Homo-oligomer: A and B are copies of this chain.
Amino acid sequence: MRIGELSERTGTPRRLLRYYEEQGLILPDRCANGYRAYDERLVDRVLQIRGLLDAGLPTRIIKQILPCLDKPRLIHFSDATPEMIATLEDERDRMTRRIECLTRNRDAISEYLEAVLDNHTTS
């Protein structure tokens, strides 16, 4: 598919699809035209990228963790340098901390909302 369709199907501005490519997050083929040709699977990948960006990860980190998720069983041992492993462990821990923080705060919001709505219906 071309960039327009991918843009529509992922709700992502074309500008950003090109930006993600520039940052090395996706690598579309090119038609003879020069037009970018995106594989079907890139729909999910783009959504994943957007999710991670929205969760506060920079493209530099996303680029490093994406290859680990490609094929659950096709591990790229070539990339598995000690530094890379350390980076991944760090990032996994940061993600865990983020999850805890978000969960705590979301639960507090839920509690607040319940209290307010309760009060509203009973007053």
Q: Are B69 and A119 in contact (CB under 8 A)?
A: no
Which of A14-22, A24-32, A108-116 forms part of the interface with chain B? A108-116
Given the contacts A55-B56, A65-B105, A80 and B116 also touching, CB distance less than 8 Å: yes
Which of A4-12, A33-41, A87-95 forms part of the interface with chain B? A87-95
CB of A102 within 8 A of chain B? yes
* Residues in A48-101 with C-beta less than 8 Å from chain B: 48, 51-56, 65, 68-69, 72, 75, 77, 80, 85, 88-89, 91-92, 94-99, 101
Q: Are B112 and A68 in contact (CB under 8 A)?
A: yes
Number of copies: 2
Q: Are B95 and A112 in contact (CB under 8 A)?
A: no
Give me 14 A-to-B residue pairs in the complex whose CB atoms sit less than 8 angstroms apart, sorted by A's number. A48-B101, A51-B105, A54-B94, A54-B101, A55-B55, A55-B98, A68-B109, A69-B109, A69-B112, A75-B115, A75-B116, A92-B109, A96-B106, A102-B102
The 9 closest A-B pairs by CB, nearest first: A56-B56, A51-B101, A68-B112, A95-B106, A69-B108, A55-B98, A92-B109, A80-B116, A95-B102
